[in-house]
Amino acid sequence: MKAVIVGGGLAGLTAAIALAEQGAQVTLLEAKPRLGGATCSFNRDGLIVDTGQHVFLRCCTAYQGLLAQLGVTAHAPIQPRFDARILAPGGRQARLRRTALPGPLHMLPALLRYRFLSLAERSVVSRASLAMRRVDPDDPAVDNVRFGDWLAAHGQSEHARRVLWDLFSVSALNVAGDDASLALAAVVVKTGLLGANDAADIGVPALPLGELHGDAGASLLGSLGAGIRLSSKVREIKPTADGYLVAVDDEQLTADEVVLAVPPEQAARLIPADALPSAEVAAWSGLGASPIVNLHVIYDRQVTDLPFAAGVDTPVQWIFDRTRISGYGEQGQYLAVSLSAGDEYVDMPVADLRERFVPAMAELLPRARDARIAEFFVTRERRATFRQVPGTGALRPAPGTKLPGLVLAGAWTATGWPDSMEGAVRSGLAAATELRRMRSQMTTELGVSP
């Protein structure tokens, strides 16, 4: 059985590994010169730069399963207990740290002491939290509700939404907190914050993503006998009487099965006409796209001891210390600022971003006020995720299509999770499972024993 996987991001890598382990003769095609999709790295004058700062939570079990397969679990440590510093201008800060109490009580003491909420706001946080436990993310009606409207209806002021709820929803869903789909926000809150007491413990990769995912994925696939072709752009997928022809570069590959693991706009161009109703494929354009902008700031001295921190009352969202992981060998400190829902910044000139964010960083990190900026550069992910707003749940397709042996994968498909590394891995697993189901169905219909 020959399987061609189109797309070498986390979804495609996961599907390729699963199919190779099932005994398929796998060929993975990736248009870029490296694997990893949105989670890859590049070299900039000796500095290893990730395309974006990615973290995961302990509840991301599928992603951790992939890391275990790749043999890199030790390079993606998870903090022993959820612990995040929240910084505000003027040197103010707070700490959100869970207790050993069972969920959902584990975060309550920290929320009751959270200094950026007023006493009145703290008193009603539990009201929304308890109400969230009754929200069913699988209810189609829930997907049509704005998260901000739901929070306001449950006593959460605009201020509370900005300094508390946005900390989790904006980075997880990559849209302004009020604008997010309640269904997807409920997955984040219920799974990460109201579930098991350790579910939200944060994992931060200790290797560049290109090594953690791309290099390790290529090594594992190679050991499984799979072929990998980089810088190979697929032009067409054509069904035949006994499988598929995949036109790539100047040749055509034959395949019994195809996994289309690319973003929705590319999938819409490549999917054969008879695979799904045209209206359903056209609906994928309604998913839209949300950008993430990453600012890379290198100081001439150490300006913080924190591995990461979040900001409130500031344009700075999350700060990560990238000094060691990047291979930066000079004196100083390399910090990355991750700006989710970055529509305001995605087209802003670098000089303007520097003018706005360097003073903002100095407001949060007192030691940065006297530091010199050795380097400041920007990376932009214009289509980092689909736009996770109300109504998009109905647009996300299941992995299966009407054509036997052709499936979809990607964090934008109907995984039940937000567009994230966890969602991407789950989609790859779902694609492989769907292909196995299709094979079983075909053997049953033909009267042949599996």
pLDDT tens sequence across 331-351: 899 999 999 999 999 999 999
CA distances (Å), origin 200, targets 96, 97, 99, 295:
11, 10, 12, 25
Q: What is the pLDDT of residues 182-233, one digit of tens each?
A: 999 999 999 888 889 999 999 999 999 999 999 999 999 999 999 999 999 9
**DSSP structure class, residue 102:** P
The enclosing H or E element of 131 equals: helix 119-132
CA distance 294 to 285: 25
* Closest CA relative to residue 423, chosen from 392, 402, 401: 392
The secondary structure element, H or E, covering residue 253 is: strand 251-255
Whether omega for the bond prior to residue 104 falls within 30 degrees of 0, making it cis, is: yes
**DSSP H/E element including 66:** helix 61-70
Scanning 174-276, the segments in alpha helix (DSSP H) are 182-187, 209, 216-223, 264-270
Q: CA–CA separation, 257 vs 20, rounded Å?
A: 12
pLDDT string in tens for the chain (450-residue length): 999 999 999 999 999 999 999 999 999 999 999 999 999 999 998 899 998 899 999 999 999 999 999 999 999 999 999 999 999 999 899 999 999 999 888 999 999 999 999 999 999 998 898 899 999 999 999 999 999 999 999 999 999 999 999 999 999 999 998 999 999 999 999 988 888 999 999 999 999 999 999 999 999 999 999 999 999 999 999 999 999 999 998 899 999 999 999 999 999 999 999 999 999 999 999 999 999 999 999 999 999 999 999 999 999 999 999 999 999 988 899 999 999 999 999 999 999 999 999 999 999 999 999 999 999 999 999 999 999 999 999 999 999 999 999 999 999 999 999 999 999 999 999 999 999 999 988 777 766 554
Alpha helix positions (H), 321-369 = 350-364
The answer to whether 401 touches 274, Cβ cutoff 8 Å, is no
CA 43 to chain centre: 22
Domains and CATH numbers, the chain: 2-39+207-287+389-445 (3.50.50.60), 96-197 (1.10.405.10), 290-385 (3.90.660.10)
